[in-house]
């Protein structure tokens, strides 16, 4: 059986296909970003999954597409963890941009990820070309959940957030300075913690303030992660991720501003991955 996963920093969605290409199991683990999380936590999130315990000897192939898997060392680490647990399986680990590409198109195009983190690439219909490596939530990740989370926290503390919205922000989150600093500097998953604040902006009624924050973030992303690719002027630009899904209207505005042809916007790439791997199985 084939186990397929779309993994981010917040969560990983898993699908098990039998030899007929039928979905026989769906499960979820916590995020498995090997560039962010320690080995013990990665192991824990695999071993604590009860579904995995039942199928670990039956899985023959694993295809994991994940955040933080764009360089050899973290990719090899995650592969070894999977091989140790799923002892009868052949494991393939690829960057999450491959999952995004397979989910939105089978033709040349730009493919962008806007979730907890952010990334972009050019997809030629077969291979992914990431020309600007992602350096993560501290240095990059424009228009991601953690990017907007940091922006909201800064605006709150600098008194740049409108008073009515600031009051709502206080009611929804613990904005104690020591609590925020502890989560960011001392506890695990600071990028995921920051991304949680972005939900405040995306799930409340849209205001002028929210629109300004979203437009600024999307313009930064287009300028730094899309426009430097010369292909962005001649192929569709697709988006994958929760931030992209909830901020579709903003992406459409910014795409028009930069004269970019907008392609598909998909919240979760797992369904597209299922169809891709079914095609690879050459089912009769």
pLDDT in tens, 67-118: 888 888 999 999 999 999 999 999 999 988 899 999 899 899 999 999 989 9
Domain that holds residue 64: 2-101+269-280
Same domain, 51 and 10: yes
Q: Which tokens belong to 78?
A: 């995650």
Q: Which tokens belong to 255?
A: 């795409």
Q: Which DSSP letter does residue 173 get?
A: S
Residue 284: per-residue pLDDT: 42
Looking at the structure of the chain, the number of domains it has is: 2
Residue 283: per-residue pLDDT: 58
Same domain, 89 and 155: no
pLDDT band for 196, please (50, 70, 90 cuts): very high
Same domain, 96 and 188: no
Q: Which tokens belong to 82?
A: 């999977």
Same domain, 120 and 11: no
User: Are the C-beta atoms of 122 and 152 separated by less than 8 Å?
Assistant: no
Q: Which of 51, 92, 17, 70 is nearest to 275 (CA)?
A: 17
Check: pTM over 0.75? Answer yes or no: yes
Same domain, 112 and 92: no
Mean pLDDT, to the nearest integer, of 12-26? 93
Residue 275: per-residue pLDDT: 86
pLDDT in tens, 208-255: 999 999 999 999 999 999 999 999 999 999 999 999 999 999 999 999
Residue 163: per-residue pLDDT: 96
Mean pLDDT, to the nearest integer, of 157-162? 97
Q: Which tokens belong to 124?
A: 């030629």
Same domain, 122 and 244: yes
Q: Which tokens belong to 55?
A: 């199928």
Q: Report the CATH number that the domain containing residue 24 is assigned in CATH.
A: 3.30.420.40
Alpha-carbon 113 to chain mean position: 6
Same domain, 197 and 74: no
Residue 240: per-residue pLDDT: 94
């Amino acid at each position: 059986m084939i186990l397929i996963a779309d993994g981010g920093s917040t969560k990983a969605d898993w699908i098990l296909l039998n030899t007929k290409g039928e979905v026989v199991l769906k499960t979820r683990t916590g995020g498995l970003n090997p560039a962010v999380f320690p080995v013990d936590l990665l192991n824990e999130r695999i071993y604590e999954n009860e579904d995995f315990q039942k199928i670990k000897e039956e899985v023959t192939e694993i295809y994991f597409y994940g955040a933080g898997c764009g360089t050899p060392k973290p990719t090899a680490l995650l592969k070894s963890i999977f091989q140790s647990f799923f002892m009868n399986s052949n494991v393939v680990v690829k960057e999450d941009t491959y999952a995004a590409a397979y989910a939105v198109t089978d033709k040349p195009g730009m493919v962008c990820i806007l979730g907890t983190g952010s990334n972009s690439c050019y997809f030629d219909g077969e291979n992914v070309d990431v020309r600007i490596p992602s350096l993560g939530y501290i240095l990059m990740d424009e228009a991601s959940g953690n990017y907007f989370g940091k922006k909201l926290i800064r605006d709150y503390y600098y008194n740049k957030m409108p008073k009515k919205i600031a009051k709502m922000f206080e009611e929804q989150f613990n904005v104690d300075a020591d609590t925020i600093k502890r989560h960011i500097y001392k506890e695990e998953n600071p990028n995921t913690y920051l991304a949680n604040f972005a939900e405040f902006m995306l799930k409340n009624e849209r205001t002028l303030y929210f629109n300004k924050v979203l437009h600024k973030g999307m313009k930064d992303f287009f300028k730094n992660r899309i426009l430097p690719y010369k292909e962005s002027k001649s192929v569709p630009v697709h988006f994958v991720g929760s931030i992209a899904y909830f901020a579709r209207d903003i992406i459409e505005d910014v795409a028009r501003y930069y004269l970019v042809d907008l392609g598909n916007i998909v919240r979760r790439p797992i369904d597209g991955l299922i169809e891709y791997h079914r095609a690879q199985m050459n089912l009769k």
